[in-house]
Structure 1
Amino acid sequence: MKFKKAFPLNLLLIFSSLQILAQEIMPPLLPWDGKSKELLVEKSNKWITPFELSDGLESPTYKETMAWIDKLAKNSDYLEINSIGLSEQGRPIQMVIASKDQDFTSEELSTSKKPLILFQAGIHAGEIDGKDAGMMLLRDISQGDKLDLLEYANLLFIPILNTDGHERRSEYGRVNQRGPKEMGWRTNALNLNLNRDYTKLETAGISAMARVINSYDPDLYIDIHVTDGADYQYDITYGYVATGGYSPQISSWLSTYFQPEVDQALKDQGHIPGPLLFAANNEDFTEGNIAFSFSPRFSHTYGDIRHLPSILIENHSLKPFEQRVLGTYIFLEQAIKSVGTHFSELQSAVKADKNQEKEAVIVKYQFRDTPADSMEFLGIASKKVTSKITGNEYVDWEGKAITQLVPSILMDKPAASVPVPKAYWIPVEWSEIIDKLKTHGFEMDILKEAKEVNMEFSTISEYKLSNQPYEGRFRFQSFELEKENSKVMLNPGSVRVKTDQPLGELLVILMEPESVDSFFQWGYFHSILSQTEYMETYIMEPMIAKMLYEDADLKTRFEAKKKTEANFAKSPRAIYQWFYAQTPYYDQNWKVIPVGREW
């Protein structure tokens, strides 16, 4: 459904002028004339992309994109298009497969001796550089002189993951981004951010991605974005979980083999590669750059906990669209070569990480006590200006290249961990959780008949929910837990999910309440917070008197609680509730998280 508003002509004219103004008042550009411009074909070329035809200013619609790719695939023996799912509005999410050996099935590609690289664009549909770069690259592979790239690796390319957001196109999409002329929207048709969905799997796009990863088993996953924020000289910034993650050997491979070669390729073509950049003060880099520890709700950290080598590209939004697309092309081309050249070392790294001991899993990281070191930073000169409108100080970028030495602030210090049980049990009635685990690709045993199981459960003693929704859900602001064992009769269809499997760390992250990306913290068990049976005062008073008369130990505990807890002693409601909890009438399932641990 589309919502349209009728605007007077004068307002439309004002909006049009504001669009021009937004581009004109951006920070000044550094001149750029990279060698990668040689990748652009002549206007007469039969296979020119819409991006090139527009002189690097525009990106085609979903319909135009898929028509162009479909024509390309029909004219090549090495390309095939598969639909991996439907968006919320019913658009096919398409994936292009490139294989010189014409291995197009998941069975063939997952068992091939060649590495398999998965790269996606448009998870945030306004950040679409990867789509146009991928179109050029596939053109040059299938119709140009770069077929030999398929000797290094097979490819999976998703040109538009967030197809609905892509078609919410406008010239007013991202005010701080230099092109394309029309941009898609960040979120999907349900206003959900796909790159916050890798653990909870609520969107069609990320559910499709999970199925692709499970079916095709790629060896490298690249997610292509465009960042925003402070200005700097770098045009192609990217990162992976370098420290504080779940795949240390993969991280070592990426830093030893992959990053040096990709960086050099970008430099050779006139680009300036850099790490992921987040200003510590949210304005400039004078106080340092933060290397955040992202949770597995994000693409590259989801890959890290799955032991899937994963890269997050963040091109700089203040650089021209053409420059960003060409840099992405160079990145992808070199990624293919590097993975193919060092594939055996990568396989060894992945195997080592998958075979790690799983005695405990870190569920939260925090900043180091002091910065790790200083980094040479290729910045842009700026000055602080006091606003005549608000009186507030803001940063004014001056468009002059400078080199700074800034602190590197790492968020890789373990803050909390949990022991790993032998398995988790999920009752059949929580089918939504079971279905999500299946989509993630977990192995599980399904009960065919009822069974009594002794398990450990967590019970919420105190909690506070957030006042504002996040991704449509009310997460926990704080909570306290108590753990105890109990026997539970599980019905047929309930599942046992063991932790001794390749995705064991991810299972812990999803199941343990302390994890910031657990199903509990995402709010999937909120119904257990409601108390559904009560006891009237006229029943409680005589029952409490009888309980105190018959149970001396209960009386001692009650008196001690009153002495040590003043608020309890002053609250009749708290006293009634405490006594009610001592009776067999009390709901034994209230606030008990229905995920059992088997030790």
Structure 2
Amino acid sequence: MKNLRKSLLLPIIGFISIQASAQDFLPPTLLWEGKSKSLIADPTDPWVTPGELTGLTESPSYEETMAWLEKLSESSPYIAINSIGVSEQGRAIQLVMVSKDQDFTAQELSTSKKPLILFQAGIHAGEIDGKDAGMMLLRDINVGEKLELLDYANLLFIPILNVDGHERKSEYGRVNQRGPKVMGWRTNANNLNLNRDYTKLETAGIKAIAQVINNYDPDLYVDIHVTDGADYQYDITYGFVETGGYSPEISSWLAEKFKPEVDQALKDQGHIPGPLLFAANGQDFTEGNIAFSFSPRFSHTYGDIRHLPAILIENHSLKPFEQRVLGTYIFLEQMIKSVGNHFEELQEAIASDRDQSMETVVVKFGFRDTPADSVEFLGVKSELVKSEITGNKYVDWKGEPTTQIVPSILMDKPVSSVPVPKAYWIPVEWTEVIQKMETHGIEMEVLEEPKELNLEYSTVNDFKMVSRPYEGLMRFQSFDLKKAYKKITLQPGSVRIKTDQALGELVVILLEPESVDSFFQWGYFNTILSQTEYMETYVMEPMIQELLSKDPELKKRFDEKMESEEDFAASPRQIYRWFYEQTPYIDQKWKVIPIGREW
């Protein structure tokens, strides 16, 4: 009865009944009749996919997807399926391996003379186009007329990466997206965004991806998404790090060899390919398109810093699910041909980027001082309408094509760089960070006995934290650092990480505090900011008197500080703090980031 009375006090949460679907409120769609519609299997075909049976208006569940793929695998000598991890809710994350030579081990696939392509769907589980497109393509390779595609390359396909988010499915998954009817959720069961996790490795899905990249060593990595945001004519938009990255030769190969052929294949089938699109004003493209500099927490930029060719596909959310899936199919089919036809040049580009010298590493990019040249933009007509409800102006899309000339705003200007030391040292007590470095595939030496070293460390001076967590972690809003050498004895289990290795740039990005994706900025060293020992004023007062009387240099510095800094002179707390920091009693590890640099 007591619990019943308590429950009656809880608020009753309800939802407004909406008779129409959110799809009915989306902007009008442009008429589309692409040639790629011929790819859809007849409902009587024994290998029709579950999505095709609905006319590509729905997408199958996790169980239905894996059952269909298992059946296809059992019927084909060219397909094998392997679990690469287990999700937070206990579901298997499955990897489909496709090889005409029946190479199904990591050793065989990583050493094959054929290129190896890794493509994944459902990292954001509501954005599931790649799953249905991949199923259709594998069907046509194995029981259709496209087996010759396996002469070009071997394939690794992850149909659903965020498996828990995929099964958090409903008709209310993504209000801004035109289908499928039932959609999964963007984040995983812990409400973490997998495509913000490539550096910090908090999720089962991205840990699995890191292991696949390390073990199989793919030659191309493709991550398939669906956009949010503004309307335009393009249905398949995709991008890679073209400028302002860490793999310039790979970027050139993607721009000069890969992109023209994929774009032409899409156009031939009635699709309109375009670059990644982000409205400068956040609502339409009248003020231009921004080519953002993504940090390596994202899939394609993580690939770039590893010198792994990587592409981010963003199908347009306002285009019908059918159109998006078929465009993805065309992209994947031509992807296989283009990589196979230009594999030698791709290998040369990868080798060149891996061999480049590394004296400094850019840890932050910013906008250019002036926009790049304006570009032709295939837009959709719109007008700003004043809301009768809020008084705010919003964009009303009209569903009519228009061509505009808009500025191209590039964010590829180096803003901050750091010199690269010979090696970094991480003490054994920071086990979580060491384990994450291992998961990334970074080489390290492990101490077997204590070792005294004189290393350079960064100490945090003033800092300000963000007001709320980001991806579950408390990051820094601002900070400043000072560097100094310190003698330290490291215990067995501590590690030395040299920078002269294949993933040297990634090492710097993870360990240098100025990097926006460093473990420091992600908050993994926040405990160093807590002071745990103090000195009472009844000790401080006589100690200060003695220090001033016996140390003329100290007295001179104190007098100068009192004269030049009014806030300091007026604050007893700051004065005590300053003197405490001059004594050997101050915690020598307080605010010292525990990553030592060896020069």
TM-score where L is the length of structure 2: 0.97
List per-residue Cα deviations over 1:446-472 (Å, max 9, x = no partner).
000110111000000110000011101
CA distance in 2, matches of 1:525, 1:60: 42
Q: Describe how 1:411-426 pairs up with structure 2 within 5 A.
A: 411-426=411-426
Aligned to 1:306: 306
Aligned to 1:335: 335
Q: Which runs of 5+ in 1 are unaligned?
A: 1-9
Q: Describe how 1:431-450 pairs up with structure 2 within 5 A.
A: 431-450=431-450
Q: Describe how 1:30-109 pairs up with structure 2 within 5 A.
A: 30-109=30-109
Q: Describe how 1:88-167 pairs up with structure 2 within 5 A.
A: 88-167=88-167
What amino acid is the match of 1:496? R
Task: Please state how far the C-alpha of 1:71 moved relative to its aligned partner.
Answer: 0.6
CA distance in 2, matches of 1:25, 1:471: 31
List per-residue Cα deviations over 1:93-131 (Å, max 9, x = no partner).
000000000000000111110000000000000000000
What amino acid is the match of 1:30? L
Aligned to 2:401: 401
Aligned to 1:320: 320
Task: Please state how far the C-alpha of 1:423 moved relative to its aligned partner.
Answer: 0.4
Task: Please state how far the C-alpha of 1:549 moved relative to its aligned partner.
Answer: 0.8
Secondary structure in 2 aligned to 1:330? Answer: helix
CA distance in 1, matches of 2:584, 2:289: 57
CA distance in 1, matches of 2:186, 2:576: 50
CA distance in 1, matches of 2:312, 2:337: 18
CA 1:80–1:516 in 2, change beyond 3 Å: closer, same or farther?
same
Secondary structure in 2 aligned to 1:521? Answer: helix
CA 1:536–1:132 in 2, change beyond 3 Å: closer, same or farther?
same
List per-residue Cα deviations over 1:9-61 (Å, max 9, x = no partner).
x978924x14x2x2122111111010001101111101100110011100000
What amino acid is the match of 2:217? D
Secondary structure in 2 aligned to 1:520? Answer: helix
Secondary structure in 1 aligned to 2:461? Answer: strand
Task: Please state how far the C-alpha of 1:339 moved relative to its aligned partner.
Answer: 0.3
CA distance in 2, matches of 1:218, 1:446: 28
CA 1:11–1:476 in 2, change beyond 3 Å: closer, same or farther?
closer
TM-score where L is the length of structure 1: 0.97
Aligned to 2:460: 460
Aligned to 1:263: 263
CA distance in 2, matches of 1:63, 1:41: 21
Aligned to 1:221: 221
What amino acid is the match of 2:570? K
List per-residue Cα deviations over 1:324-365 (Å, max 9, x = no partner).
000000000000000000000000000000011110000001
List per-residue Cα deviations over 1:513-561 (Å, max 9, x = no partner).
0000000000000000000100000000001101111111110011011
CA distance in 2, matches of 1:11, 1:272: 42
What amino acid is the match of 2:157? F
Secondary structure in 1 aligned to 2:290? Answer: strand
CA distance in 1, matches of 2:228, 2:447: 49
Q: Describe how 1:382-393 pairs up with structure 2 within 5 A.
A: 382-393=382-393
Secondary structure in 2 aligned to 1:283? Answer: coil
List per-residue Cα deviations over 1:380-405 (Å, max 9, x = no partner).
01111111111111111111111110
CA distance in 2, matches of 1:386, 1:555: 66
Sequence identity, in percent? 73
CA distance in 2, matches of 1:531, 1:230: 48
Aligned to 2:283: 283
CA distance in 2, matches of 1:481, 1:560: 23
Q: Which runs of 5+ in 2 are unaligned?
A: 1-12
Q: Describe how 1:375-386 pairs up with structure 2 within 5 A.
A: 375-386=375-386
Aligned to 1:180: 180
Does residue 579 of structure 2 align to residue 576 of structure 1? no
CA distance in 1, matches of 2:175, 2:16: 17
CA 1:11–1:483 in 2, change beyond 3 Å: closer, same or farther?
closer
Q: Paired residue for 1:14, among 17, 28, 38?
A: 17
Aligned to 1:3: none
Secondary structure in 2 aligned to 1:258? Answer: helix
Q: Describe how 1:244-263 pairs up with structure 2 within 5 A.
A: 244-263=244-263
CA 1:390–1:249 in 2, change beyond 3 Å: closer, same or farther?
same
What amino acid is the match of 1:205? G
Size of the aligned set, in residue pairs, is 587
What amino acid is the match of 1:82? N
List per-residue Cα deviations over 1:109-155 (Å, max 9, x = no partner).
11110000000000000000000000001111111111110100000
Aligned to 2:5: none
Q: Describe how 1:457-536 pairs up with structure 2 within 5 A.
A: 457-536=457-536
Secondary structure in 1 aligned to 2:520? Answer: coil
CA distance in 1, matches of 2:91, 2:43: 31
CA 1:465–1:13 in 2, change beyond 3 Å: closer, same or farther?
closer
Secondary structure in 2 aligned to 1:148? Answer: helix
CA distance in 2, matches of 1:547, 1:76: 83
CA distance in 2, matches of 1:13, 1:305: 47
CA distance in 1, matches of 2:357, 2:15: 62
What amino acid is the match of 2:112? S
Does residue 534 of structure 2 align to residue 541 of structure 1? no
CA distance in 1, matches of 2:388, 2:572: 58
CA distance in 2, matches of 1:576, 1:353: 53
CA distance in 1, matches of 2:243, 2:542: 61
Aligned to 2:350: 350
CA distance in 2, matches of 1:39, 1:202: 39
CA distance in 2, matches of 1:32, 1:424: 55
The runs of 4+ residues in structure 1 deviating greater than 4 Å are 10-13
Task: Please state how far the C-alpha of 1:565 moved relative to its aligned partner.
Answer: 1.1
CA distance in 2, matches of 1:12, 1:301: 40
List per-residue Cα deviations over 1:439-493 (Å, max 9, x = no partner).
0000100000110111000000110000011101111000010000011100000
Secondary structure in 2 aligned to 1:563? Answer: helix
CA distance in 2, matches of 1:548, 1:456: 30
CA distance in 1, matches of 2:492, 2:592: 21
What amino acid is the match of 1:362? V
Secondary structure in 2 aligned to 1:107? Answer: helix
